[in-house]
Amino acid sequence: MSCELVISAVRKFGYIFQNKIGVAATLAVAIWNVATARVAATPKNANDKNAFGQNKILHTDLVNELQIILTKNRRYNSQFTHSQFTTPSFSFKKMTILDTIIAQKSLEVEARKARVSQETLTKQGYFAKATNSLKLSLSNPASSGIISEFKRKSPSKGIINDQVTVADVTTGYVAAGAACLSVLTDEPFFGGTDQDLLEARKANPTIPILRKDFIIDEYQIFEAKALGADVILLIAANLTPTQVYELGKVVKSLGMETLLEVHDQEELDRSLCEYIDVVGVNNRNLKNFAEQNVNASLALADKIPAHLLKISESCISKPETIQQLKSVGYEGFLIGENFMKTPNPGQALQQFIAQIDALAFA
């Protein structure tokens, strides 16, 4: 890993986190430490000694770049000082799972931009295709409200199901009565790919599809449109209000819809804007992936503006939970693991909807 690449990452982190510059610097230094840890060990020969000397020079360059960034935010000057970054072994803030994912995503997006321009994306794939509306689908009185997800693995569960195909699962979902499809495209942490979304769109041309990923740059929105997505996920936990606004504006300009994901009232209050179409409450805290209940959705049910559709995400495994969430105004329910952990996710959804219907008429 070159010093230039790490410095580029530092600058990108500074943009992403803005008022969390200390986190940005911490992530960049953590990456640099990992990249140089082995070289920084006791040199065994002349070549190792030479490499170690070069890395000390590059490390100094990185320190200087970090110091420039840190001095722009006085809030962190006392917490992160130049002296902390002058030796290979220093203490840094513990990264959350979300921090790690966003750090990786930033590097990934920059690499993608270098390969394919945003202008080129407008001429590829499904970019010119008319989109399918999630809002209309969920508003249909006959809708199941289930947003069924294709997900191979997760940071908290590991491999969930890597023995099924996208086409088989997603067509099974649609046949069972899904209101929308959610397809993971993050590869390092969730095992998803762009090809998964392309295949889901090809097999299911008329149902709305959510690109489930960590969106940090408008480039990814153009990319999602070309891949066949109709709905973009904006996660409040890793975006500033300004970013939510600007990214939501791009989504709207491309004729797509925005699903704003929040976990608590603070994220909701600071992130709502005119470009939000649907609000999703993630019952699982992305910083630790620990929760196993829908308490977050229940707590925010009456805090979400009435004109916005409400979706409850994750930790849903029982039909009774759907009934409970519907009673407080939720119209959509994003479920992945509960179906994907079975040999036949489509059949699992069909049985789940039948159980929901049975409860409704009991």
Task: Quickly list DSSP for 17-50.
Answer: HGGGHHHHHHHHHHHHHHHHTTTTSPP-SHHHHH
Pairing of strands 146-150, 180-184: parallel
317 is an active site residue: no
Determine the pLDDT at residue 203. Answer: 98
Which has the closest alpha carbon to 96: 28, 160, 27?
27
One of 223, 261, 331, 337 is an active-site residue; which one? 261
Q: Are 231 and 250 in contact (CB under 8 A)?
A: no
113 is an active site residue: no
Q: Are 148 and 332 in contact (CB under 8 A)?
A: no
> Bridge-partner residues for 334, per DSSP?
147, 313
337 is an active site residue: no
One of 20, 151, 225, 310 is an active-site residue; which one? 151
Instruction: To the nearest 10°, report the CA torsion of 30, 35, 36, 39.
Output: 150
Determine the pLDDT at residue 60. Answer: 52
According to DSSP, residue 300 is labeled H
Determine the pLDDT at residue 96. Answer: 84
Q: Tell me the DSSP string of 234-247.
A: EEGGGS-HHHHHHH
User: Does the 116-360 domain belong in CATH 3.20.20.70?
Assistant: yes
151 is an active site residue: yes
Give the pTM: 0.77
One of 12, 20, 105, 212 is an active-site residue; which one? 212
One of 313, 331, 337, 338 is an active-site residue; which one? 313
Sequence-ordered alpha helix ranges (H) in 123-184: 134-139, 166-176
How far, in Å, CA of 242 to CA of 236, rounded? Answer: 11
Determine the pLDDT at residue 78. Answer: 40
Tokens of 216: 């940090």
Q: Which long-range contacts link 113-118 to residues 24+ away (Cβ below 8 Å)?
A: 113/219, 118/218, 118/219, 118/222
Cβ atoms within 10 A of the Cβ of 285, count?
17
314 is an active site residue: yes
212 is an active site residue: yes
For CATH 3.20.20.70, the residue range(s) in the chain are 116-360
Determine the pLDDT at residue 362. Answer: 75
Tokens of 361: 């008429």
Mean pLDDT for each 10-residue chunk of the chain (362 residues)? 50 45 49 43 44 48 51 42 39 72 94 97 98 98 97 92 97 98 97 98 98 98 98 97 98 98 97 98 78 90 96 96 97 97 98 95 79
> Bridge-partner residues for 149, per DSSP?
182
> Bridge-partner residues for 184, per DSSP?
212
One of 12, 20, 132, 149 is an active-site residue; which one? 149
Helix (H) or strand (E) holding 309: strand 309-313
Determine the pLDDT at residue 79. Answer: 41
One of 132, 137, 238, 314 is an active-site residue; which one? 314
One of 148, 154, 204, 282 is an active-site residue; which one? 282
